[in-house]
Chains A and B, each alone.
Chain A
Amino acid sequence: MRLNVTVNGEPRQAEDVWPGESLLYVLRERLGLPGSKNACEQGECGSCTVYLDGTPVCACLVAAGQAEGREVRTVEGLAEGEALDRVQQSFVDAGAVQCGFCTPGLVVAAHDLLARVPEPTDPEIREALAGNLCRCTGYEKILDAVRLAARR
């Protein structure tokens, strides 16, 4: 199929897409947006979290065909020009980035949490981000980053 999808505000097209391939594959391999990461392909780890029509989803679990005509926002689309989004800046400032592979998904998940809950409690943060694995296990610093972003 020819896939029409709006990504980070821009209408994009991809040709010869098998409707069953994942949105993650389309983003990474067809549209040149490798920020969203593939780490489990089964929705366990959250590394591929993107917004689909404003709702965070695991891009590995969304079929390309399901994204037809919809809006996707990835980690590449969070910053306003050169300025990092407050969540991104807070991840840097709090030391919440280590190997960085889980980071794009966590940044999107945290961005969504703060959009829904501007002042989350610690248990709310832990619960909201429990679906995002970090094997450097920087969870304490990630918590700090979300607290910091909430204050900004």
Chain B
Amino acid sequence: MTVSPIGREIDRVDGPLKVTGSAPYAADYRPEGLVYAYLVQATVGRGTVRGMDVSRAEAAPGVIAVFTPFHPLPLKSPSGESGENYSALQDTAVRFRGQIIGLVVADTFERARDAAALVSADYTVTPSRTSLADAGPGVPQGLVQKLAPGVSSIDAALASSPVTITTSVSQHAHHHIAMEPHATTAVWVDDQLTVYCGAQSPQRAAATIAARLGVEPAKVRLICRYTGGGFGQRSPVWNEALLCAAAARALRRPVKLVLSREQVFTAIGHRAAVRQTIRLGAEADGRLRALSHDSDGELPAAGGWQMMPGRDTSAVAYRTPNIRIDQRLVTLDTPPTWSMRAPAEAPGMFALETAMDELAVRTGVDPVELRLRNYATEDPVEGHPFSSKYLDECYRVGAERFGWSRRTALPRSQTDGDWLIGMGMASALYPAWRQPASARARFRDDGRVAVASATSDVGTGAFTMLAVVGADELGLPVSSIAAEVGDSALPPGGVGAYGSSVTTSTVPAVQAACRAAVKALVQSAVDNPRSPFAGLAPATVRYRQGRIEANGRSVDFRTLLRTMGVPHVEAVSTSAPDKSASQYKFHCFGAHFCEVRVHRLTGEPRVNRFTSVFDVGRVVNAKAARGQLTGAIIWGIGHALLEADPIEPDGRFAAASMADYLVPVHADTPEIDVHWLDRPDPHISEFGARGLGEIGLVSSAAAIGNAVFNATGIRVHDLPITIDKLL
């Protein structure tokens, strides 16, 4: 009997390729005749390009072509797809500093870069709107309100509450910093385009590229088997990839475009800067009467992700009779924004969980107890029950593992030499999302089963998820499954790798495809005249652990396929949520507990240790799950202590490289104790997985901020929490 691999510590099937440097990423392809492109970007914040001098660039060694708004590559305008709202080089408008205004192609990368530096532009400059504080308040986009009978307004509910807390927090732009900079290698063969380009949603990206180039969707294939991180920034197709494909078409030869890190900061979207105010009204014992969450998020004129930090956070987290979520967007002349891991939930829950900690301090109620007193068993606005919620168990198990009972509520009451020690906690939640998904299972005559879905493995472990689920369903070892993702030519219906939804959505599709493939294999075994089972009724033939059995005969599928002379038997299946799912609210939950130390003299904050317990439904692969959850918690260290890119009045990002924009490194990370409850969600699917790629980041920054307050008595509302704010 094969032991099911589900939930076990399974090695990544793509691991050996990655540790030897043999997994090809977008920039690793070198087709015959390849030439290199380099971007030219606007150096003013807003205005018009009056003219450009490309003569020196065109005369530079090795230069093949220089494209500008005055000598453009043709691209269609975006029509409804997400991302930037204009096509590069199609007009002379400058919408933000760093907008692409040229593309230089040369025989080597160095020559293209050198020539790009020789391009000059004259601008008519108009003043930029770059300050969220100065330009706000924004335009209301998503008002959510529920008031108890007889309550006239949220202000009235707050005014009548015995205890009120008002907390305003802010954070600057964040960058995804996927380790792989954006890169595209575009190859045309006749009228067929193959694009090697990291993408979270290969089929959607291929369709976008086709539409913007004005070619039939079937003419574009996008390959992203290995992608060096996504985190949201590879969900849309950005102008750079379109220009690369268009240049390859115009020049009739393959073109590679690799962005520098600085170019990624502006040519690719960032997480919007956002300012938020939480107002809580509570009884003296901490029970909430009213919760108000206002936000002003950056929305670039050039287009981007709408920052709505209250909807999936404050509107869901706690039981309260009165709620008002007012999410406003402020138009700025900044580079485009885009979703970044827990895009709205990380900032939103930082605000809410900071305010909850202030309420705990004010009421003298322990932070865990305060959250239990306000525990929601149903969606507080819509009234739908949660499909499965064990957050209370997360609190209990987490507090026990962490040693929360040793915390003292009084700030500055624990020290270790010159270090002030503090403990803090916060609760996390993230929406669970099951999309319709498709997968293919193919029994092959080499003895393996190919399980494929046109999603993307951006480091999450999707390859291995397919292998584990396929192996479990077919009763085979994981090594007998050949997993395939990251190719738009796979059967239609692969889901995008965003919203923590790939596993939730794809597992049921893989199960269905494997079952259908078994059925097809059995049918083939009885239909094929060369089969030892020819002529039997399908009901009398059974599949078991890779073997076809009937009438006392047992043949493995490899032998069967070879005997029949059939190279493979396959099935494609699609799986979608049940209609009954609409009665439930699907969310993942978690509880973070954190200990920090802050140096008494220098103010340096360090994270000592973290314990986090999650309720994420059923887990497919413990090794991958721990990697995702732990990594996301460390992102919370960045969110709390390191990451910020303020925008200057002229529209320039203050940080333009990994030297200026700090992300956590080995030396910043403590021991992290991650644990999950193994409770399959009974309503999301038969399997019960809810997705876990983002929840670790939600509220981990708040737990750190709350611990910093416990250590120092200083509440930092404007992230990141840096030394200057703790002195």
Contact = CB atoms under 8 A, between A and B. Distances in A.
Given A44-B657, A92-B11, A95-B623, A76 B28 contact: no
A39 interface: yes
Contacts of A36: 21
B178 interface: yes
Interface residues of A, number: 59
Interface string A121-152: 00001110111111111111111000000000
Given A75-B21, A95-B627, A139 B15 contact: no
A48 B172 CA distance: 30
Given A20-B110, A34-B27, A133-B179, A97 B18 contact: yes
A126 B666 contact: yes
Nearest to A44: B658
A99 B671 contact: no
A93 B12 CA distance: 9
A45 B630 CA distance: 20
Interface string B644-672: 00000000000001110001111101011
Given A45-B658, A98-B461, A135 B663 contact: yes
Contact of A133 (B231, B635, B658): B658
Nearest to B226: A100
Task: Say what secondary structure dominates the interface of chain A.
Answer: loop
Contacts of A101: 25, 178-180, 228-229, 459
**Residue from A78, A103, A131 with most neighbouring chain B CB atoms (10 Å):** A103
A125 B667 CA distance: 9
**Residue from A33, A126, A137, A142 with most neighbouring chain B CB atoms (10 Å):** A137
Contacts of B386: none
Contacts of A74: 21
B599 to A, nearest CB: 17
A5 B256 CA distance: 25
A104 B25 CA distance: 13
A119 to B, nearest CB: 18
A104 B18 CA distance: 7
Contacts of B634: 137, 139
A131 B667 CA distance: 9
Nearest to B258: A38
Contact of B666 (A21, A37, A143): A143
B624 interface: yes
B177 interface: yes
Contacts of B549: none
B530 interface: no
A40 interface: yes
A29 interface: yes
A28 B229 CA distance: 20
B626 A91 contact: no
A138 B108 contact: no
A114 to B, nearest CB: 15
Given A95-B626, A130-B667, A140-B669, A35 B21 contact: yes
B229 A92 contact: no
Interface in A6-43: 18, 20-21, 25, 28-29, 32-42
Interface residues of B, number: 61
A20 B113 CA distance: 13
A137 B14 contact: no
**Residue from B227, B666, B671 with most neighbouring chain A CB atoms (10 Å):** B666
B23 interface: yes
A37 B19 CA distance: 12
Interface in B196-239: 226-229, 231
B597 to A, nearest CB: 15
B396 interface: no
B228 A99 contact: yes
B19 A107 contact: yes
B260 interface: yes
Interface string B610-626: 00000000000001101
A127 B666 CA distance: 7
Given A42-B261, A99-B458, A76 B20 contact: yes
B382 interface: no
A38 B27 CA distance: 9
B663 A92 contact: no
Contact of A98 (B9, B11, B28, B627): B627
A94 to B, nearest CB: 9
B635 A137 contact: yes
B475 interface: no
A37 B177 CA distance: 14
B11 A135 contact: no
Contact of A44 (B30, B624, B659, B672): B659
B30 A126 contact: no
B34 to A, nearest CB: 8
Nearest to A64: B110
Given A42-B261, A44-B657, A135-B229, A37 B180 contact: yes
A39 B261 contact: yes
A75 B20 contact: yes
A7 B577 CA distance: 53
Contacts of A88: 16, 19-20
Interface of B: 9, 11-12, 14-25, 27-28, 30, 108-111, 176-181, 226-229, 231, 258, 260-261, 458-461, 623-624, 626-628, 630-632, 634-635, 657-659, 663-667, 669, 671-672
Given A99-B459, A142-B666, 9 more contacts: A34-B24, A41-B260, A84-B16, A92-B16, A95-B12, A95-B627, A130-B667, A135-B229, A136-B631
18 contacts: A18-B110, A21-B109, A25-B110, A37-B228, A38-B258, A76-B21, A88-B19, A95-B9, A99-B458, A100-B19, A100-B23, A101-B25, A101-B178, A126-B667, A132-B666, A137-B635, A140-B630, A140-B672
Interface of A: 18, 20-21, 25, 28-29, 32-42, 44-45, 47, 74-76, 78-79, 84, 88-89, 91-93, 95, 97-104, 107, 125-127, 129-143
Closest 10 CB pairs of A and B: A35-B21, A99-B459, A101-B228, A100-B18, A34-B28, A92-B15, A137-B634, A44-B658, A101-B179, A75-B21
